[in-house]
Amino acid sequence: MQPAVLDRKQTEELNPNLPARDVPRAAHHYSKDAADMGDALPTQPTVGTNLTDLTIQKAHVTVREVGGSMGPIWPSYYRDCKSVIFMVDAANPNQVSASCIQLLAVLSAEPLVSASVLILFNKIDLPCYMSLVEIKSLFRMDDIISCAKQQISVLQTSSLDGTGLQDVMHWLHSNCAQ
């Protein structure tokens, strides 16, 4: 799990809940045209942070990916953050409770009170993934959305095959591009 945050000054996004092995693949897809989203990319664990610069309809966005294992230092990236992308492994039911707790911690962080938040349920390409109805129920997503101070959007994605990533790009453009 990892958080993503967007910096107001540099339009930088922190991606805190992206499973580390999916980060290079998702960043690769984010930086590609829709026609090029089918090529495979090997995955590897994220150590430290990764920065990916994107140009979305002539607007510049920098995505800062921070590995889930770095959860204790996520708050050091929240200052001046404009947006957060929080990615959850929808194919790992054992991770749901920990992901939900981390999401609640992110949403309750004072510096992120006005940040827009995108929650991505990833790995929908796997046969064992939980449906959106199941995972939203486990997260009690309706309660989270109604109680959160932030504007929250929810999408399903596959970093492997690119499903849903155009919707992510649209969200980035709408919420982060300057």
Question: Which positions make up the binding site for GTP?
Answer: 68, 122-125
The secondary structure of 10-70, three-state, reads: CCEEEEECCCHHHHHHHHHHHCCCHHHCCCCCCCCCCCCEEEEEEEECCEEEEEEEECHHH
Binding annotation for Mg(2+): 46
Angle of helix 96-108 relative to helix 132-139, nearest 10 degrees, comes to 60
